[in-house]
Structure 1
């Protein structure tokens, strides 16, 4: 098959979207499919990359983030699609890229990619304390109607879990199909656990070896609810000896620093480009703690489980979907008191038994990105065959 991804937010300096698309380019070559990415850039051009191709469509830089460019030349995108004659066209955003792919009149399977839930990211985060989530969804029914109208132009909507497919079905989004993400399970492994690293991290926090070491990995953004994490940890730390290290960075670094100020035994580790260092720190901690209820999958939670860490996560979203009772505790999103209770419950449980349960989940419940793309290509082949 030839698969063309109309990718509105692919850029050389990008983050998660770039990583995902680069993985898809490599997976496509390995599986014998041709992957072409149509993306906005500073100038027109074409290049080979990871066994596939990138076709750049010129556009202005995005005012809010100069790393990215605006996809605004619909006619040019359609000319590229006419010339390339794909078997499958992906619309990878609900904005211009999604509409450009949807309005193309060529004969190809059209796939709407839904890998972020904007209502969960912003309205749920900011309004969830004032009203229940169902009411927030109803308040933003105009957005769901917008997505429903867009999705009707596609043959399928690709999501990262059955729970999310169920959520979208409630709002009439067309044909949601779950294709779960995966991780590099060779990289995230309990074999990396190092008592010396654990001892050093606790010492840096001013704690003895018998304290519990919690770890988080999070972009610094309101949807991650790090204020809840810090306050829940603070309340729990009044009852037990524990420390928290948090890896990550982001545009709201100033806010995260302010939220952490005055909370003892917390260390903000910042961003590290050293993946080995991050994986070893993760495996060497005792428990993983997470604040975001807006994940569509929860990659860092999956990495923690595969690293042998019991997890403490919100009771909604992709993180909750990964959190089996055998190795997790959940709490109401945004509720520090509930998080504190969840931490204490976790510390009262048999950790070695939970680590064993993590190993079972890593083997049976969490896949790899090879698994993800293999299923994605199978879905596309089936759609092409029945078209």
Structure 2
């Protein structure tokens, strides 16, 4: 099957979507499919990534709010690319303009919309949540729900990686929603990477001894990640118990986060950690992952933490919530610093040991996700062919 993925969020210096697409390009050929990823780029280019794997960029303007990204602005050019590749199946991975462009393409191939973004949580709920309920905000943003419902009607399938997100989309009237969870990169994250001496050294850098609790937060330093809230909650909880917080990542808000920590020796913000083996060692050696963002569509970092045997303290909305389905992990009311503080304190009170954690089951991998995704595509293509 030839699959064309119209990937509006792909960028060479991007984050989770880039990693997802790169893995998809490798996985498709192994599963017997050909995949072509169409992405906005600085220039028109066709890059072959191996047998049956192609990345084609279409010259597109920069995205004004983040210069790492570009956006599709020419519907005819995108349609010509789809016509040229003659796909058996088309996937769009953004709920914005490119999804509408793909919906208007007059080709016969069935198509799926993969929801790699949750704009309502990232923006509307975060902006207006302090003064209005989710139901009230949804009524105020009914124009966007109408847009999502139109997209659902135009696509044969809508894919969500999170059960919580899928339920919210279906509850809002978007048809055809299914949940196909993502997974971790295989062979990297595991509990046996835990290193007590490394943990003790990290705590010593935070001016604490090994009896303290070591929390890690990992991700972009962006407003929707709510790292400021995480810092405030850790500082408040730290007045009752010795708690260290290590924030790993980078972004335009890093300076503000350093200022938010107020010079506390118990909070370190060292920057990004690109080495995957080093990240696996860090995750396995900490006591819990703490996350502030309720707008995740899957939350890869929480999945990696879980594969490392690391408990998570996460919001009760969004993809991160799916990973806190067993003790000692904790959920807290999204966007509420007091609720996060209480969740941290409850976790500390229940933490009986810093021994390595064994996994109850093998972690779900990204290759499992792609196998299920492409099976769903093949079944849908067969059904459409029989109906034709």
Instruction: Quote the residue 2:286 is aligned against.
Output: 285
The alpha-carbon distance between structure 1 residues 100 and 322, as it changes in their structure 2 partners (threshold 3 A), is: same
Q: 1:171 and 2:172 equivalent?
A: yes
CA contact (8 A) 2:5 2:92 kept: yes
Q: CA deviation at 1:322?
A: 1.4
Distance 1:46 1:141 in 2: 39
1:83/1:185 CA distance change after superposition, 3 Å: closer
Instruction: Name 1:201's counterpart in structure 2.
Output: 202
Q: Distance in 1 between matches of 2:345 and 2:63?
A: 45
Matched, 1:368 2:365: yes
Instruction: Give runs of aligned pairs for residues 1-387 of structure 1, distance below 5 A.
Output: 1-51=1-51, 52-352=53-353, 356=357, 359-360=359-360, 362-363=361-362, 366-387=363-384
Aligned 8 A contact 1:37 1:53 in 2: yes
CA–CA distance in 2 between the matches of 1:269 and 1:155? 45
CA distance in 2: counterparts of 1:121 and 1:97, whole angstroms: 19
SS in 2 for 1:257: helix
Q: Quote the Cα distance in structure 2 between the aligned partners of 1:80 and 1:260.
A: 49
- Per-residue CA deviation, residues 57-79 of structure 1 (Å, 9 max, x unaligned), is 22233333333333122222222
Q: Distance in 2 between matches of 1:187 and 1:146?
A: 39
Question: How far, CA to CA, are the matches of 2:116 and 2:71 in structure 1?
Answer: 20
Moved more, 143-152 or 370-379: 143-152
Indicate conservation of the 8 Å contact 2:188/2:276, yes or no.
no
Partners of 1:31 and 1:158 in 2: how far apart? 19
How many Å separate the matches in 2 of 1:43 and 1:316? 38
Q: How far is the alpha carbon of 1:15 from its aligned partner?
A: 2.2
CA apart distance, 1:55: 2.2
The alpha-carbon deviation at position 185 of structure 1 amounts to 4.8
Contact 2:95-2:117 within 8 A present in 1 as well: no
**Cα-to-partner distance string for 1:102-131 (whole Å, 9 max, x where unaligned):** 111111111111121001011212221212
RMSD over aligned Cα, in angstroms? 1.9
Question: Retained in 2: the 8 A contact 1:230–1:263?
Answer: no
**Cα displacement string for residues 362-383 of structure 1 (whole angstroms, at most 9, x for unaligned residues):** 52xx410011000000100110
Q: Is the 8 A contact 1:22 1:50 kept in 2?
A: no
How far does the alpha carbon of each residue in 1:282-323 deviate from its partner, in whole angstroms, 9 at most, with x for none?
Answer: 111112211111111111111112212222111221111211
Match of 1:40, SS state, is: strand
Distance 1:327 1:185, change over 3 A: farther
Distance 2:241 2:11 in 1: 45
User: Which ranges in structure 1 are unaligned for 5 or more consecutive residues?
Assistant: none
Aligned-pair distance for 1:350? 4.6
Q: How many residues get paired?
A: 383
User: Deviation of residue 252 (structure 1)?
Assistant: 1.7
Shift of residue 262 of structure 1?
4.3
TM-score, with structure 2 as normaliser: 0.93
Matched residue SS, 2:327: helix
Q: Runs of 4+ in structure 1 displaced over 6 angstroms?
A: none
Mapped partners of 1:121, 1:351: distance in 2: 35
Which has the higher mean CA deviation after the structures are superposed, 30-39 or 273-282?
273-282
Contact in 1 for aligned 2:328/2:350 (Cα 8 Å)? no
Gaps of 5+ in 2: none
